[in-house]
């Protein structure tokens, strides 16, 4: 996720008080640069700063690559500045796309997190301006410029307030302007926190950025716009000045990086509602039932396509298995899923009528890249579904759909699985609409379920204490069996993978119907069965198989659609109604279950033994 840091206070030069609250003998550039270093853990591909000097005006420096490689300009009279680490969502990680972005005359600079959904419309309205990047962010300084030209008496705060009214999406913004001694910030959907020093004020996407200077913080709320000066802050909401209070942070930097969570994995599980909002942002047209994923195909290709082959490894493979069922249902095309390391373009298939979809969070998995290369060599059309702009896979495929989940640091994939399935579901709708296989009403219903996903996932996250209790009760089991049918199968496989990789317990996932064809021999009172019993997962039939296991003494845990009930379950987790996406929501319970079992055992959850986040060897 992108990171923001802003500082106003003039730095310290030894003849000030030199307390920790104002940075102790550093220039504004030093303080902003170190703030960027503190934000590095969030993951990024580019960095930049904008410094404002009392007489020297606005100076911007930015580039793709590491914060260490960024030369922060020497601006001795700087009074304030902003910095940004970018995780690309619109446009590749280039110098031009790095933040800050400026207006035409270079008076205004803006850094931004989140997504401006209507940036294309706004860019068209700004046709008289010179835009130099691919980003959605760049419209903001140009809109501010227009406001300041239209009303030369307006200050930066007033201009940002007017611009904010025109932006759609979720974002956090920091703006500075030559000749203005304040930083103006706005929050809608993306976090922003203010740091209150004795004679300095900070703003950042999280407290880690400035924790070494101050622990007194004010959390902005959605819709807040604030003007920051060395003396304090003025926060405005709905046209009124408001007081958001001040809290003292007691975490140490390491915990703060994890947002107060003990592990990145748990943080990332909890980030899923926000990640999903970003995945969906600006892509759904709920009136027409269409989807815009920015993936194009040659005319007539989709009408003639005979097969969609999904290639992926591990969790991404399970996301692919989920999606294959959606592709068949929504687009009417036969869809197969291959483990990427096993993939070969089979005999008897026609490459020009085959679409190969490579699903890879990192975009660097050697096995998946190998499969893409084999598909390309056979002459098939290839699409990547990935989280990582600029990754190798994006350079080797015909098209890419980005999942926009933000960086995932825990080795076990969590939020990226949810965003992969959501992106693939959108692709399935897009293919179905293009082929005329999916009517507008049916498409609208899927889009409504997609829109309901972030809220449904949040409801599950709110039930975490129930999951922790179940994890405590069953943590000492000999083995765990995860079962489901239809869309419940990939979720059962994923639930078992998550548990085994972070708890080191034996866990297996399979189609519920297979239980009686072998695994039932392993079932005992010491082997809980965890079942997906939701819409899209043939719940009643699955429950029959669960009962077979219960008859052999196995405890049974189930993720059950909110409108259903299975009285005989030992533990029942409620899954909010979101149609074919319910198994995906159920998966959040399984992530939390795996997390809490592993946590009870004191496992190194973020870095399980023998595993790497990105597997770049075949």
Catalytic residues: 2, 613
Distance of closest approach, residue 261 Cβ to ligand F6R, in angstroms: 18
Q: Which of 487/605 has CB closer to ligand F6R? A: 605
Residue 317 φ/ψ, nearest 5 degrees? -65, -40
Q: Determine if 391 is a binding residue for ligand F6R (CB under 6 A).
A: no
Rounded CA gap, 5 and 29, in Å?
A: 11
Rounded CA gap, 446 and 457, in Å?
A: 16
Q: Determine if 576 is a binding residue for ligand F6R (CB under 6 A).
A: no
Q: Is 303 exposed, middle or buried (CB count within 10 Å of its CB: 0-12, 13-18, 19+)?
A: exposed
Q: Which residue stretch of 61-69, 110-118, 300-308, 361-369 sits at the interface with ligand F6R (rule: CB under 6 A)? A: 361-369
Sign of the torsion formed by the C-alpha atoms of 13, 17, 22 and 25: positive
Kindly write down the DSSP assignment for every residue of 197-239, as one continuous string: -SS-EEEESSGGGTTTT--EEEE--TT-EEEEETTEEEEEETT
Q: Determine if 615 is a binding residue for ligand F6R (CB under 6 A).
A: yes
Q: Which of residues 151-180 bind ligand F6R (CB under 6 A)?
A: none
Q: Determine if 479 is a binding residue for ligand F6R (CB under 6 A).
A: no
> Residue 496: in which H helix or E strand, if any?
helix 488-503
> Residue 105: in which H helix or E strand, if any?
none
Q: Is 166 exposed, middle or buried (CB count within 10 Å of its CB: 0-12, 13-18, 19+)?
A: middle
Q: Determine if 361 is a binding residue for ligand F6R (CB under 6 A).
A: yes
Q: Which of 442/615 has CB closer to ligand F6R? A: 615
Residue 494 has which token pair?
């994923």
Q: How many CA atoms lie within 13 A of 308 on its CB side?
A: 29
Q: Determine if 491 is a binding residue for ligand F6R (CB under 6 A).
A: no
Total of chain residues touching ligand F6R, rule CB under 6 A:
15
Q: Which of 112/596 has CB closer to ligand F6R? A: 596
The residue within the footprint of ligand F6R, chosen from 59, 64, 102, 365 (CB under 6 A), is: 365
According to DSSP H, which parts of 231-285 are helical?
253-257, 264-270, 272-280
Contact present, 575 and 557 (Cβ < 8 Å): no
Distance of closest approach, residue 482 Cβ to ligand F6R, in angstroms: 14
DSSP class of 514 = G
In the stretch 368-387, what mask flags binding to ligand F6R with x, by CB under 6 A?
Answer: x-------------------
Q: Determine if 360 is a binding residue for ligand F6R (CB under 6 A).
A: yes
Q: Which residue stretch of 268-276, 284-292, 356-364, 422-430 sits at the interface with ligand F6R (rule: CB under 6 A)? A: 356-364
Cα–Cα nearest to 501, from 411, 415, 420: 411
The residue within the footprint of ligand F6R, chosen from 111, 313, 428, 446 (CB under 6 A), is: 313
Residue with tokens 């904008």: 50
Q: Shortest Cβ contact with ligand F6R: which residue?
A: 314
Q: Which of 98/269 has CB closer to ligand F6R? A: 269
- Could you give the 3-state DSSP secondary structure of residue 89? coil
According to DSSP H, which parts of 7-155 are helical?
28-38, 119-125, 139-150
Rounded CA gap, 438 and 34, in Å?
A: 52
The residue within the footprint of ligand F6R, chosen from 136, 501, 582, 606 (CB under 6 A), is: 501
Sign of the torsion formed by the C-alpha atoms of 358, 362, 363 and 369: negative
Q: Determine if 412 is a binding residue for ligand F6R (CB under 6 A).
A: yes
According to DSSP H, which parts of 172-235 are helical?
none
The residue within the footprint of ligand F6R, chosen from 314, 320, 407, 536 (CB under 6 A), is: 314
Distance of closest approach, residue 356 Cβ to ligand F6R, in angstroms: 15
Q: Determine if 85 is a binding residue for ligand F6R (CB under 6 A).
A: no
In the stretch 438-477, what mask flags binding to ligand F6R with x, by CB under 6 A?
Answer: ----------------------------------------
Q: Which residue stretch of 239-247, 292-300, 360-368, 370-378 sits at the interface with ligand F6R (rule: CB under 6 A)? A: 360-368
The residue within the footprint of ligand F6R, chosen from 135, 316, 392, 419 (CB under 6 A), is: 316
Q: Which of 3/314 has CB closer to ligand F6R? A: 314
Identify each DSSP E strand in 454-594 by its residue range: 480-484, 507-511, 529-533, 556-561, 571-575
Rounded CA gap, 428 and 489, in Å?
A: 19
Distance of closest approach, residue 76 Cβ to ligand F6R, in angstroms: 45
Distance of closest approach, residue 497 Cβ to ligand F6R, in angstroms: 6
Binding site for ligand F6R (CB under 6 A): 313-316, 360-362, 365, 368, 412-413, 497, 501, 614-615
């Amino acid at each position: 996720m992108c990171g923001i840091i802003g500082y106003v206070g003039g730095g310290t030069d030894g003849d000030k008080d030199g307390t920790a609250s104002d940075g102790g003998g550093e220039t504004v550039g030093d303080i902003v640069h170190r703030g960027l270093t503190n934000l590095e853990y969030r993951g990024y591909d580019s960095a930049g700063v904008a410094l404002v000097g009392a007489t020297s005006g606005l100076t911007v420096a930015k580039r793709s690559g590491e914060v260490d490689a960024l030369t922060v300009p020497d601006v001795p009279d700087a009074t304030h500045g902003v910095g940004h680490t970018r995780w690309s969502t619109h446009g590749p990680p280039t110098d031009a796309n790095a933040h800050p972005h400026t207006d035409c005359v270079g008076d205004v600079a803006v850094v931004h997190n989140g997504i401006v959904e209507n940036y294309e419309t706004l860019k068209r309205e700004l046709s008289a301006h010179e835009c130099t990047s691919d980003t959605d962010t760049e419209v903001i300084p140009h809109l501010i410029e227009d406001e300041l030209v239209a009303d030369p008496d307006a200050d930066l705060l007033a201009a940002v307030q007017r611009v904010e009214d025109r932006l759609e999406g979720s974002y956090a913004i920091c703006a500075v302007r030559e000749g203005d001694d304040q930083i103006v910030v706005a929050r809608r959907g993306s976090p922003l926190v203010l740091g209150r020093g004795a004679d300095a004020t900070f703003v950042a996407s999280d407290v880690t950025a400035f924790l070494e200077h101050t622990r007194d913080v004010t959390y902005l709320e959605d819709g807040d716009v604030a003007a920051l000066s060395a003396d304090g802050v003025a926060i405005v909401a709905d046209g009124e000045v408001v007081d958001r209070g001040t809290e003292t942070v007691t975490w140490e930097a390491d915990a703060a990086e994890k947002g107060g969570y003990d592990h990145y994995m748990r943080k990332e599980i909890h980030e899923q509602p926000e990640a999903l909002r970003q995945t969906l942002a600006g892509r759904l047209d709920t009136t027409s039932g269409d989807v815009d994923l920015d993936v194009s195909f040659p005319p007539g290709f989709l009408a003639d396509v005979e097969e969609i082959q999904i290639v992926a490894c591990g969790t991404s493979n399970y996301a692919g298995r989920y999606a294959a069922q959606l592709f068949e249902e929504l687009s009417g095309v036969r869809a197969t899923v291959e483990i990427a390391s096993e993939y070969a373009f089979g005999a008897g298939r026609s490459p020009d009528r085959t679409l190969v979809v490579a699903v890879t969070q990192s975009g660097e998995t050697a096995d998946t890249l190998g499969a893409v290369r084999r598909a390309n060599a056979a002459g098939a059309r290839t699409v990547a579904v990935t989280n990582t702009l600029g990754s190798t896979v994006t350079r080797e495929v015909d098209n890419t759909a980005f999942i926009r989940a933000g960086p995932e640091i825990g080795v076990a994939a969590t939020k990226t699985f949810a965003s992969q399935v959501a992106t693939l579901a959108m692709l399935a709708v897009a293919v179905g609409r293009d082929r005329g296989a999916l009517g507008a009403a049916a498409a609208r219903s899927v889009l409504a379920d997609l829109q309901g996903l972030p809220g449904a996932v949040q409801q599950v996250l709110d039930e975490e204490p129930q999951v922790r209790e179940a994890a405590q009760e069953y943590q000492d089991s000999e083995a765990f069996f995860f079962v489901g049918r239809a869309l419940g199968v990939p979720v059962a496989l994923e639930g078992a993978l998550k548990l085994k990789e972070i708890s080191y317990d034996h866990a297996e996932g399979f189609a519920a119907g297979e239980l009686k064809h072998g695994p039932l021999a392993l079932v005992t009172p010491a082997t809980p069965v965890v079942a997906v019993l939701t819409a899209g997962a043939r719940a009643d039939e699955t429950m029959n198989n669960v009962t077979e296991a219960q008859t052999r003494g196995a405890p049974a845990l189930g993720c059950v659609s909110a409108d259903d009930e299975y009285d005989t379950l030992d533990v029942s987790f409620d899954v909010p109604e979101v149609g074919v996406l319910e198994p995906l929501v159920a998966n959040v319970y399984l992530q939390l279950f795996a997390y809490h079992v592993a946590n009870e055992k004191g496992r190194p959850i973020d870095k399980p033994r023998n595993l790497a986040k990105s597997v770049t060897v075949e």
